[in-house]
Structure 1
């Protein structure tokens, strides 16, 4: 496996992102460095915020200080292939199982407990699979525009195949512009450059290009999806859904989750103003949902 590492110089002076890098070795054989932000009181209950497709921990830059100021410890990892984490150079190096294993190793090595999990859209499949492996470490789940398919018909195969083919084969794969398509506010030139910082050239984009395939075609997908739904249908801890009012691709996804996950009953589910990335369009409101949900931990 050939490993690429984005030069540190590309991450200097990013707007609203003063956080020092922290790295954890994961994987077997030659280790991979997985980067994360860690901000807030070290003894406080952790909030793990997992970025969505194409993004990295920079996505949470407006929310991290709000949560830390409220007394929470915020951890925002970069998946392998994204952000400041190492990047295997071939799309064949990435699979759902490998992403899950790398993330689980990071979680266990940091020995995180009483976690509030915040996850985004299709990356929620990976995040919830992590909870299924380590349920005792998690206290609550907060999802942003998460749509968890339950049948083949739910997956809109034509559009999915089109997006997957574009990511895999297009000679032009503009990560910042893909982020911009998911927001209702215009990102500044500096913000667009920050989303592009992890990718000095196309060779560094194998993880980003492969992610749609990884999430939709992991080993025994149908069986794994059924196992995940069985797990969620027995999840009694708080489960909160946040959705956007201007993201047609995920509209209605909250209904199934609220009906089928016991922990969703009676929770303060919200629809916020914004597009696909609530972290960009409604960071204050989204942060408030997390802080309010964590009040029992803050009072303990």
Structure 2
């Protein structure tokens, strides 16, 4: 799983020396070791067109030593991103659909990793009925059913639904006492969801994310359908939150839309969030993204329709 911190640490290593090979490998297109070795030959052809052939062996050794077969099975992902410099190689597992692509430049091409970080969703789902419940863990669209030891049963409170839901709430609070940063979505009938939300802690439970899937038909296929529905709501909420965040910053005159101003703020470490349109992404904006991430800023690569004021780029700046 790619994280912003992991990416930032990679981007800010002092010993890195370019040029950089940025290689996105799709497991749908490159499915075995022979495919991977053939890809290396393609990378070589592109590399020696731009750079001294004498330094290619330094890169080739790193690419050939990468254990492609093992990486293919990590986390059931869609692919892997490889970044090779003169002195090092870094790999990131990918979960979003990707196409194999090669980029050779004086900096890493981080567009795919920005998308990967944006797309990550981790939450729990509480499927709640009058006298029973189950709990799912969702990670990037994949769900697993959690094994609940000593979970409360309704007969302990004489089948009083209010008291039973309180037991469930307390049980979950104790269970996730050290893991309360994940939100939990309550999937229940409208009546039960309303009652449970009155008892539940606002911080932990995502009360504005609601599933419309039929509670009486929650087999594996329906659960997958429910997860897709919930994921889309989380992404829609995130897009709306980003819009509100930008509008509030604009009201306080903490935004920049001129590229020169954005670059100046980025070089000073004064960007809180950098917005880049997917359609406008180029080398300049890629380098700007790297600088922003290096200073612990956030970078969002968005469809033009989700960009603030439909701009190609914009930034929320920090006030010192």
TM-score by length of 1: 0.29
Bigger radius of gyration = 2
More RCO (CA 8 Å, sep 6+): 1
Looking at secondary structure, tell me which structure has more strand per residue: 2
TM-score by length of 2: 0.28
